[in-house]
Amino acid sequence: MEVTKIQSILPILVFAVPMALSIPIFFARGRKAFREWLAIGGLVATLIITILIYLNVVATGETKALVWNEWFYVDGLSVLMEFIVAVMGIIIVLYSTKYVAHGEPEAGEGKLSLYYGLLVLFVGIMNWTCATNSLITLYVALELGTLATTYLVAFDWRRRSLEAGYKYLLLITVGVVFSLLGGVLLYSAAGSKGALFLNELGKLAPQIPHTIALVSCGLFIAGFGTKAGLIPFHAWLPDAHAEAPAPISVLLSGVIINMGAYSLVRTVTIFAPLYHEVVLFMAIIGSVTMVLGILMALVQDDLKRLLAFSSVSEMGFIVAGLGLGTYLGIYGGLFHMLNHTIMKGLLFFCSGALLYATGTRKISELRFIPKKMLITSFCFIVAALAIGGMPPFNGFMSELALSLALGQSGLLWVAIVLIVAGFLTLVALIWAGYRIFWTKPNLKLAPANPKPREAKEVPALMWGGMLFLAILCILFGVYSQVLYPLLNSAANGIMAILPVP
């Protein structure tokens, strides 16, 4: 399958525009509305550019890519990631306008300008990650993304969030360096500049000696797997997700760890058709991550930590599919990546809404939320059912695709592990939802906290985005063919690069 390349400036604009628009936000102190409107404006502009790229790359139905010389390459997969980043970015900013001010009433203008500026800058950096065609620049951009979000993770500036921010930065930096070594090893082994370009990796992969290819894949899995939160490289994830403000938890779960998976599919998946060891190793890591992640989630009382461990588990699902190197595996993995962003994002938004309304995120203290939080409870249940793989929600469709792909590839045992992990996820989330929304507090166990009984629904800027994501959970489950052109283009973009075994 040949990829038609079209020279265009759009691959540059998609990251340059948000980066440029983030600069005035940093200096917009004392001008709250201007700052927030500029942030939203910047992200809407990014979304428009992404739509233009979509029309050029995906809407034609052919396998195309927009390029800028050889250094930028935007195919269907890049478009998918850029859509995720732009749409979630807009919802996060809108949610933050109410959430951050409520949670940090004494936050100065400087701190808030830094928050929104870093958010928009981060969107630009993530789009740069998806647009770059260089393996080394991919590493640089991923690291820059980590640096941009460290402050956001530690935003509350309390002991726990400072600790989380410190661990987040240190562990990811140390982990991702392994991917740099892997990239350099490939570059050297291929003996040409081509190995540095992601779209050329497939052509050079058969020439790379067996040992070096496997060592490189191992280094990539260690490096990008750290970013993706795979076990055993996940130590940073639960702390960072739990202690960051809820909108930033959505960012971490919906964008940052997806970038780890994106990097894996750009590098490790390329070798999957050539070496069955790669497929098997990714399947094993995926299976262990699926099971251990959800088992750790089951014992959490902190709602955000529960969701964080669930994210670890879901990354196992995604990686098991992407590691197959088949069309259905890649399609299923990317479908689940998109769905996970929506479902987990919605759950973190709900946890933020509960924290906003009641001041606590402990499940044991959240009992008996009155019917005044109908929208939050509806959204939570939709997301819980979706992520648990129940029809007719979107999670069911992507898990079905993954199970079929795994079965087709002869890895039926992994498909069984996936189904079991999916069931455990359903149990964990529904049990949490039941305890929060339908159980009266046991005052002997939980401290008397009248706030849950007095809680009321969050502002519209918060529940609006939540409702939108809940509708997507239903829409993409009932009518998942609406996603077919985008996911098909993304999967074909990778298939076109894969070497023929």
Position 471 contacts other proteins (CB under 8 A): no
459: which 2 tokens?
A: 């502002």
**Nearby residues of 341 by Cβ (< 8 Å), 6 or more positions away:** 84, 88, 253, 254, 255, 258
Q: Does 164 bind other proteins (CB under 8 A)?
A: yes
Q: Which of 205, 202, 180 is nearest to 190 (CA)?
A: 205
Minimum Å gap between C-beta 191 and other proteins is: 7
Residue 50 or 310 with smaller CB distance to other proteins: 310
**Minimum distance from residue 236 beta carbon to other proteins (Å):** 11
Least separation in angstroms between residue 50's CB and other proteins is 24
Is 169 a binding residue for other proteins by CB under 8 A? The answer is: yes
Q: Which of 65, 114, 237, 242 binds other proteins (CB under 8 A)?
A: 242
Cβ at position 133, least distance to other proteins in Å: 12
- The closest alpha carbon to 50, from 82, 77, 18, 22, belongs to 82
CA distance 246 to 347: 10
Give min distance, CB of 146 to other proteins, in A: 8
Single residue of 68, 166, 368, 378 touching other proteins by CB under 8 A: 166
Smallest distance from other proteins to CB 227, Å: 14
Asked whether position 408 contacts other proteins by CB under 8 A, the answer is no
Name the residue nearer to other proteins (CB basis): 134 or 313.
134
| Residue 281 to residue 283: CA distance in whole angstroms | 5
- The residue among 351 and 398 lying less far from other proteins, judged by its C-beta, is 351
Residue 150 binds other proteins (CB under 8 A):
yes
Q: Which stretch binds other proteins (CB under 8 A): 190-198, 253-261, 374-382, 385-393?
A: 190-198
> With respect to other proteins, which residue has the nearer C-beta, 170 or 482?
170
Binding residues among 103-142 for other proteins as defined by CB under 8 A: 134, 136-137, 139-140
User: Minimum Å distance from CB 239 to other proteins?
Assistant: 5
Give the helix, strand, coil percentages of the chain, each rounded to 5: 75, 5, 20
Q: Does 170 bind other proteins (CB under 8 A)?
A: yes
In sequence order, the β-bridge partners of residue 5 are 65
Tokens of 290: 């699926």
Site mask for other proteins (CB under 8 A), range 205-234, x = bound: ----x-xx----------------------
User: If you search the block for the tokens 């849950």, which residue do you land on?
Assistant: 452
In whole angstroms, how close is the CB of 273 to other proteins at the nearest point?
Answer: 22
Please answer whether residues 367 and 435 qualify as being in contact, where contact means their C-beta atoms are separated by less than 8 angstroms. yes
What single letter denotes the amino acid at residue 48?
A: I
165 binds other proteins (CB under 8 A): yes
Q: How far apart are CA 78 and CA 490, in angstroms?
A: 7
Using the rule CB under 8 A, give the single segment among 150-158, 281-289, 290-298, 325-333 that binds other proteins.
150-158
Question: Which residue, 127 or 398, is less far from other proteins as judged by CB?
Answer: 127
Compute the least distance from the CB of residue 378 to other proteins, in Å: 31
Q: What is the DSSP track for 448-498?
A: ---HHHH--PPPHHHHHHHHHHHHHHHHHHHSGGGGHHHHHHHHHHHHTTS
Question: Under DSSP, is residue 32 helix (H, G, I), strand (E, B) or coil?
Answer: helix
- Min CB(194)–other proteins separation in Å: 13
DSSP 126-168: HHHHHHB-BHHHHHHHHHHHHHHHHHHHTTT-SHHHHHHHHHH
Residue 25 is encoded by which pair of tokens? 């936000």
Judged on CB neighbours under 10 Å (0-12, 13-18, 19+), 40 is middle
40 touching other proteins, by CB under 8 A: no
Give yes or no for a contact between 258 and 87, defined as CB atoms under 8 angstroms apart: no
- For residues 54 and 263, give the distance between their C-alpha atoms in angstroms, rounded to a whole number: 21
Indicate the residue among 113 and 376 with the shorter CB distance to other proteins. Answer: 113
CB of 136 to other proteins, least distance (A): 4
Decide: is 167 part of the binding site for other proteins (CB under 8 A). yes
Q: Does 60 bind other proteins (CB under 8 A)?
A: no
Would you count residue 163 as binding other proteins (CB under 8 A)? yes
The whole-angstrom separation of Cα 432 and Cα 301 is 9
CB of 4 to other proteins, least distance (A): 27
| Closest among 247, 168, 186 to 461, alpha carbons compared | 247
Pick the closer one to other proteins by CB: 136 or 412: 136
The residues pairing with 37 across neighbouring beta strands, listed in sequence order, are none
CA–CA distance, 223 with 491 (Å, rounded to integer): 23
Nearest to 392 by CA among 475, 318, 332: 475
Determine which residue in the list 44, 107, 181, 474 makes contact with other proteins, applying CB under 8 A: 181
Cβ proximity of 432 and 322 under 8 Å: no
In the complex with other proteins, which residue's Cβ is closer, 109 or 163? Answer: 163
- Smaller CB separation from other proteins, 211 or 481: 211
Under rule CB under 8 A, how many of the chain's residues touch other proteins? 42
Q: Which of 36, 143, 200, 457 binds other proteins (CB under 8 A)?
A: 143
Site for other proteins, rule CB under 8 A: 134, 136-137, 139-140, 143-144, 147, 150-151, 154, 157, 159-160, 162-167, 169-170, 173-174, 177, 180-181, 184-185, 187-189, 191, 193, 196, 209, 211-212, 238-239, 242-243
